Structure 1
Amino acid sequence: MHLYLHIPFCKQACHYCDFHFSTNLSQKSALVEALCAEIALQNEYLPNNKLETVYFGGGTPSLLTEQELATIFDTIHRHFVVSSDAEITLEANPDDLSVSKLQLLRQYVNRLSIGIQTFDEATLRWMNRAHSAAEAENCVQLARETGFETLSVDLIYGIPDAGQTDKKESIWQRDLQKMLELDVPHLSAYALTIEPDTAFGRWQQRGKLPAVDENLAAGQFEELSKAMVRAGYEHYEISNFARPEQYARHNTAYWQRRPYLGIGPSAHSYNGSSRQYNIANNARYTVAIGKGDIPATVEELSMADQVNDYLLTGLRTKWGCSLSALTTLAGEDFSKKQAADLAAMYASGWLKQEGDWLRLTESGKLFADRVAASLFFE
C-alpha cells in the first residue's frame, strides 16, 4: 500500500506552477495537525495497513521542521505498519538543503526528489525559483555526503532560450550535461506547460509570453531520451529515467493502478473501485478535519473509467498495458472490441503489440495521451 502527503506551502510562487500551495507559512503547524488527524480518520481506507512507500509532495515538504516531521511520522507509525524496506521520499528545494537540514531529513526519509528545474541562473530568475544555480549543483553533492544514495532531480525542457549569450549550446543541452556529470541515479523531466492561473499564464494572456514551441519541446524530448539511454539510464516512463534498480517505487504504484491514500488539501486517493480528491483550500480543509469530516469528493469508477485510466497510465510506462488485464477490466475481449482503433495505431507507428502487451514505440512516446485516448471506452 502507498501513502502520499501533500505539504501545501512554498516560500514563493514559481511562475509556471499551478499545484495547490500557499506562501503564507503562519498556518503550517495547524495544517500539520490536520494532516495527522486525517491519517487517523482515513486509516481504514486502504485494503491493508502495510505501507511499501510514503511520499511527501507539495508544495515544498523540505520546509517542514524537525518537530513537524516527528509528529507526522509518529502518527503514521501509530496507524500503519511501515515496511522495513519502504521507500520514503521527500520533495525538496535546493535552497533548503543545508548540511544540518539534510542530516535532519536523513533520520526520517531515504529518498530525496530535488526540484532543480534548470542549472541556468537567468532561467531560474525568469521562473521565480528561490534557489541559485550554485545551490542547484551543490545540493546534490551535499546530499550524497550526508548519506542519501537514492536521489532524483527534476528538470524542465521546452524553455525558450531567448537572451542567452552562448548560442553554440542550448540551455537544455547544458542542463542535461550537468545532470549527467552529477550522475544522479534518477531524473524526472517535464515539458514546460503554461497553465492559465499562473504568472506565465497571465503573461501569455497579456501577450507578454509566446506559446510553448511544441517543435522545440519535441526535439528536446528526443534529445533527452537518446542522451539518457546512451548514458545507461532506462526510460521507464515518459517523463522518468533511472539507473538499474532506481525506479521511483511510489510513482510506479500510481502507473500500475495500486491502491494509495492521499492526505492533505488537494490530495487524491484510489482504492481500486473509486477515487477521491480533497478540497484544495487549506483553511476549509483544516476546519472540516477539525470537525471529524473528510472534505473529499468521491468518484465511483465505471468499467470504462477503469479501462481508460489503465490505458492512460500504463501506456506511459515501459511495461505498457496487458491485453488480458484490459479484457478483464472491460468484461469483453478488448482486442476485438477495439480492433479498428488498434489497427490504426499500429499503422501510425506509434503503438506495437508484443505478446500480451501493448507498448508505445519510440515515436509514439511523443503522442502518449493521443494514443491512449484513441483506445478509450465511451
Structure 2
Amino acid sequence: MAGIYIHIPFCKQACHYCDFHFSTSQKYRTEIVQSLAKEIGLQKDYLSRAPIETIYFGGGTPSVLDADEISFLLDTIGHNHSVSKDAEITLEANPDDLSREKVQALRQTAINRFSIGIQSFFGEDLAWMNRAHRANEADASVKRVQDAGFENITTDLIYGYPLLSDAKWEQNMSRMFELEVPHISAYSMTVEPRTALAAQIKKKQSPPVNDSQSAQQFTRLMERMQQQGFEHYEISNFGKSGHHSRHNSNYWKGVPYVGIGPSAHSYNGETRQWNVANNARYLTALEKNELPAEVEDLTPENRLNEYIMTSVRTMWGLDLDKLESIQSGTAPLLLKEAQQFLNNGWLLQNGSVLTLSQQGKLYADHIAAEMFF
C-alpha cells in the first residue's frame, strides 16, 4: 500500500498567510505538466511497486488545471503503477474554479474526492487573507460538486485570526454544517516567516495572531464537531464515520508515498527526499532526465521522532509496541518523558497506547517535542 502526491505549483494570487511553493504566473504550465509526467516515470521504483491506494493533487491550486491535464497525469500514473480500483483520488480546489462546466468536466475524470478551500464565509475575512474567491462562491461551489454526484467532499476553515470574532466563528461553523459535507479540516492561523502576513504584522499594518483566541476557538470547534457526529481523528481533521482522508491518514500512519512536482516530499520508510522548490530548476533537471531531489537516509532516531510527531496527533495514538519495533528499549525512555503529561491529564494511556486528552490537543506539538529522542 502506498500513495502519490502531486504538487501543482500555480495560484491565481498569493494568500497573505501561505508559505507553500507556488507561482502566480502560469507561463510554463504546459512544461510543468509534461515534467510532472516525466518525474512520475523516473520515480516509479521509489515505492518498490507497491499498489497505489491514494492519489492527491495538492498545491498551489490544482484546480487551475483543466480536466484533460488532470486525466493525462492520472493516465501516466496508471501506466507506471498498479492503482487500486477503489483508490481515493483527491483534488484540492478553490471555490472560484468550480464553475458548473468545470465540475462537469471533472466528473469525466477519475477524481472521486474534493478538498475545497473555503476558509471563511465572510467577504472581509477573505479579502484580508487575499483569497481569490468571494463569500457567495463558497457554499455555491460545494453545492455544484454535490449536484454533480460527488459525495466524498472535505472543506477547509481557518480560525484564530484577528478579524474572526467568536460570533463569526460560530456562524462559519454553522454554515459549514448546513452544507452537510462528511469531512472538515480546520487550521489555526499561523504566521510563517517571509509571508505577506508576517510583513504586515511587523509593520503594524495588521494585529498579531492571538494564541488565547486560537485556543478558545479550537476548543469550541472540538465541542461542536462532537455534537455534529464528527470523529476528531487528527488535530486539524474531523470526519464522519467512513469519511476520514485515506491519503492524509496514511501520512500519519507511516505509509510510504512519493511526491511529484516542485517542493514535493517523499517517504518510503528508509529515506526521505524533497524536490527543489523552484519551478525553473525543476524544469531544467527534468529536461536532463534527472530527479531534482535531495535525499536523506533515515536513522533510527529520525524514524522514532517521525513516528512520535505523527502518531500522537491522531485518535489512534502512539503505540509503545510500535516504538519498540523501531528500536528496542525505547518505550521505557519515552514513558519517562511522557509521565509529566500523564500526570497532568494531557496524555491518556490505554494499554500500550498513548493518546491526547481534549485538553492535551491544545499542546500537541509541545508534547511531541518533549518526547523526541
Do they fold alike, i.e. is TM over 0.5? Answer: yes
Q: 1:180-226: per-residue Cα shift (whole Å, max 9, x none)?
A: 11111100000001112111111112122232100000000000000
Contact 2:162 2:208 (8 Å CA) reproduced: no
CA RMSD of aligned residues (A): 1.1
Contact 1:6 1:266 (8 Å CA) reproduced: yes
SS, match of residue 191 in structure 2: coil
Counterpart pick for 2:323 among 317, 322, 326: 326
The 5 Å alignment of 1:347-366 reads: 347-366=343-362
Q: Aligned letter for 1:367?
A: Y
Match of 1:82? 83
What is the rounded CA distance, in whole Å, between the counterparts of 2:139 and 2:124 in structure 1?
15
What is the rounded CA distance, in whole Å, between the counterparts of 1:322 and 1:336 in structure 2?
12
Q: 1:280-318: per-residue Cα shift (whole Å, max 9, x none)?
A: 000100110110111111111111111111010000000
Match of 1:250? 247
What is the rounded CA distance, in whole Å, between the counterparts of 1:149 and 1:301 in structure 2?
38
Counterpart pick for 2:230 among 221, 229, 233: 233
Unaligned runs of 5+ in 1: none
What is the rounded CA distance, in whole Å, between the counterparts of 2:205 and 2:76 in structure 1?
47
Contact 2:37 2:73 (8 Å CA) reproduced: yes
The 5 Å alignment of 1:267-282 reads: 267-282=264-279
Match of 1:118? 120
Match of 2:95? 94
Match of 1:25? 26
Q: 1:46-72: per-residue Cα shift (whole Å, max 9, x none)?
A: 032421000000001001123312321
Contact 1:51 1:82 (8 Å CA) reproduced: yes
Contact 1:353 1:359 (8 Å CA) reproduced: yes
Contact 1:335 1:342 (8 Å CA) reproduced: no
Q: 2:4 matched to 1:6?
A: no
Q: 2:206 matched to 1:206?
A: no
Contact 1:54 1:88 (8 Å CA) reproduced: yes
Q: 1:113-139: per-residue Cα shift (whole Å, max 9, x none)?
A: 000000011111111111111100111
Q: 1:153-192: per-residue Cα shift (whole Å, max 9, x none)?
A: 0100002137xxxx7x622111001001111110000000
User: What's the TM-score, normalizing by structure 2?
Assistant: 0.97
SS, match of residue 170 in structure 1: helix
Q: 2:276 matched to 1:303?
A: no
Contact 2:321 2:331 (8 Å CA) reproduced: no
Contact 1:11 1:130 (8 Å CA) reproduced: yes
Q: 1:226-268: per-residue Cα shift (whole Å, max 9, x none)?
A: 0011011110100000011000000000000000000000000
SS, match of residue 25 in structure 1: coil
CA gap 1:84/1:339 in 2 versus in 1, 3 angstroms: closer
Match of 1:46? 47
Deviates more, 1:310-319 or 1:59-68: 59-68
Q: Aligned letter for 1:253?
A: N
Contact 1:267 1:277 (8 Å CA) reproduced: yes
SS, match of residue 345 in structure 1: helix
Contact 1:265 1:285 (8 Å CA) reproduced: yes
What is the rounded CA distance, in whole Å, between the counterparts of 1:207 and 1:369 in structure 2?
28
Counterpart pick for 1:131 among 133, 142, 153: 133
CA gap 1:140/1:328 in 2 versus in 1, 3 angstroms: same
Contact 2:231 2:239 (8 Å CA) reproduced: yes
CA gap 1:76/1:339 in 2 versus in 1, 3 angstroms: closer
Q: Aligned letter for 2:211?
A: E
Match of 1:16? 17
Match of 1:184? 181
Contact 1:43 1:49 (8 Å CA) reproduced: no
Q: Aligned letter for 1:245?
A: G
What is the rounded CA distance, in whole Å, between the counterparts of 2:271 and 2:160 in structure 1?
35
Q: 2:372 matched to 1:376?
A: yes
What is the rounded CA distance, in whole Å, between the counterparts of 2:66 and 2:180 in structure 1?
29
What is the rounded CA distance, in whole Å, between the counterparts of 1:335 and 1:285 in structure 2?
42
Q: 2:338 matched to 1:336?
A: no
Contact 2:308 2:372 (8 Å CA) reproduced: yes
What is the rounded CA distance, in whole Å, between the counterparts of 2:213 and 2:357 in structure 1?
20
Contact 2:162 2:207 (8 Å CA) reproduced: no
